[in-house]
Amino acid sequence: MIDAAQLRELSSRQLKVRVPGCSCSVLQTPSWESITLERWPAGVEQVGTLRASDIDEPTFEEFHPGGTRYGSADAPIAVSWFPFNRSDVYACGTCRSVFLRYTEYGGYYVDHRVRMVDPALVVQDVRLKRHP
């Protein structure tokens, strides 16, 4: 399992310039986008997960203290909150770009979604506060 500090460190190793023709360019989106597994590029491999193994059903609550939304490119990446808490972490072997991927399960569909990690948006892990 990867925590917020590790995700920030891993994503800060990304090359600052884009590698022309890099196979992961289809994944380089600042906000969550749908992607078919057929379009998933070779050379982008899973390096970890944000899913806590001791939680059977992670929360669907989101973390947006600045008024962002799920689809906002500047939404904070808070690993204990939806959809990050259901995401796996991938890295490109060429340019070292880091991506999050999770699968949305609806009533009649399955939607794989991906988002590139901007290390500046990874926030310290803010745990949910449960009230009795």
Q: Which pLDDT tens digit goes with each residue over 12-29?
A: 988 766 777 899 999 999
Instruction: Outline where the chain has alpha helix (H).
Output: 4-11
98-108 pLDDT, tens digit each: 999 999 988 88
User: Beta-carbon neighbour count of residue 98 at 10 Å?
Assistant: 28
Token pair for residue 99? 């991506």
10-69 pLDDT, tens per residue? 999 887 667 778 999 999 999 999 999 999 999 999 999 999 999 888 999 999 988 999
3-state secondary structure at position 111: strand
**pLDDT, tens digit (0-9, with 9 covering 90-100), for 62-91:** 999 889 999 999 999 999 999 999 999 999
Distance CA 89, CA 91 (A): 7
In sequence order, the 6+-apart residues with CB closer than 8 A to the CB of 32 are 70, 71, 83, 113, 114, 115
Question: In this structure, what are the phi and psi dihedrals at residue 119, rounded to the nearest 5 degrees?
Answer: -60, -25
**Rounded to an integer, what is the distance from CA 7 to the centroid of its chain?**
9
Given a cut of 80, is residue 128 above it in pLDDT? no
| pTM for the model | 0.90
